[in-house]
Amino acid sequence: MAKYILADLIRVRTLRRDKIERELVAAKGRLDDAEKQVPLREKELEDYRKWVDAEIDRLYDEVLRKDVHRGAIDDLGTVVRSMRAKELDYVKRLQDAKDDLKKAQEELEAKKKELDGAQRDIEKLSSHREQWTAEQTKLDEFLADRELEEAIVHKNQGEKNSADEIFTGA
């Protein structure tokens, strides 16, 4: 039987599917990492907020216990604003982690769809290969039968020619 005409295409599609499977595994890994980052960033933000509140309370208590000049109070306000502004960095990290999680989920879904498509392509080719193989087998059988018939006809013609020679005296 002849080599399947689309064998190379099946090989390419199989390689493509295997590549997508590896990318899917990597996407799952990135999703796992992203899922771990969100609670970490939430905890960091919560811990920072608690620390800032405690630190501000401590600084105010310190100022209240002492007789301080107006400049020290202004400095305290600057420190408090600075600590509150730094909180935005923690909020941004948390938002980035959530964005990364969403992106990782979308990437994983896209890879799953891509893998499904690649698998369908291979299944279509496999179905075609089965049909082609059946047709090729029928063709091979037909050609073998035809060859056998030609051999029989040729043999019979040879015997007929021999009989004709015997009867005609040729």
At 34-75, the pLDDT tens digits run 999 999 999 999 999 999 999 988 888 877 777 667 777 777
More confident residue, 102 or 78: 102
Domains of the chain, first to last: 7-136 (1.10.287.1700)
- Maximal C-alpha separation, the chain: 149
Mean pLDDT of the 110-115 span: 96
Residue 61, C-beta contacts closer than 8 angstroms, at least 6 positions apart: none
Residue 23, C-beta contacts closer than 8 angstroms, at least 6 positions apart: 111
* Residues 8-31 pLDDT 10s: 999 999 999 999 999 999 999 999
Phi, psi of 69 (to 5 degrees): -85, 170
pTM given for the model: 0.67
